[in-house]
C-alpha cells in the first residue's frame, strides 16, 4: 500500500469518527432546553455547548472531505499558502490541515 492510500484511509477513518460524533450531538440537541425566565439553568449551557461543538465538528468534516479530494488530485500535504510540503508530524496530528506550521503561525 502506498503512502497516499494509507493517508486516504486515515482521513476516511477520521471523517467516519467525526460524523459519528455529529450524529451523537444531533440526538443530544433534539431536546432543546427551556429558555423561560428562571428556567433551564445548566441545561441551557449544555445545549449551547453541544450546538457549538457540532458546528466545529461540521467544519472539521468539511475540511477532511477537502483533504480527501486533495489525495485524489495528488496535492495532499502541500501548504496552500507557500506551496511547500507540510511536515509529516503535523499531518499526523492534523491530517486535514491545509497549512504548514510556518504559515499557520504567520496567520495567527
- Reported as a single tens digit per residue, the pLDDT across 19-78 is 999 999 999 888 776 666 556 567 778 888 999 999 999 999 999 999 999 999 989 999
Buried b (16+ CB within 10 A) or exposed e, 49-88: ebeeebeebeebbebbeebbebbeeeebbebeeeeeebee
Question: CA–CA separation, 106 vs 108, rounded Å?
Answer: 6
| Residue 9 pLDDT class (50, 70, 90 cuts) | very high
Residue 24 CA to its chain's centroid (Å): 15
User: How many C-beta atoms surround the C-beta of residue 96 within 10 A?
Assistant: 20
pLDDT at 34: 62
The answer on pLDDT for 106 being more than 60 is: yes
Q: What is the pLDDT of residue 105?
A: 94
* 86 contacts 107 by C-beta, under 8 angstroms: no
**Residue of 31 and 16 predicted with greater confidence:** 16
Tell me the three state secondary structure of residue 43.
helix
Domain layout of the chain by residue ranges: 1-76, 77-108
108 falls in which pLDDT band (50, 70, 90)?
confident
Helix (DSSP H) and strand (DSSP E) numbers for the chain: 4, 0
Query: What is this structure's pTM?
Result: 0.81
Amino acid at each position: 500500500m502506498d503512502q497516499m492510500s494509507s493517508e486516504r484511509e486515515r482521513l476516511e477513518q477520521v471523517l467516519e469518527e467525526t460524523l459519528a460524533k455529529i450524529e451523537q450531538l444531533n440526538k443530544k440537541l433534539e431536546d432543546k432546553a427551556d429558555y423561560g425566565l428562571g428556567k433551564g439553568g445548566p441545561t441551557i449551557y449544555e445545549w449551547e455547548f453541544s450546538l457549538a461543538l457540532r458546528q466545529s465538528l461540521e467544519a472539521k468534516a468539511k475540511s477532511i472531505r477537502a483533504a480527501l479530494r486533495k489525495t485524489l488530485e495528488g496535492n495532499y500535504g502541500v501548504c496552500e499558502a507557500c506551496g511547500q510540503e507540510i511536515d509529516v508530524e503535523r499531518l499526523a496530528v492534523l491530517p486535514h490541515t491545509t497549512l504548514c506550521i510556518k504559515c499557520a503561525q504567520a496567520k495567527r
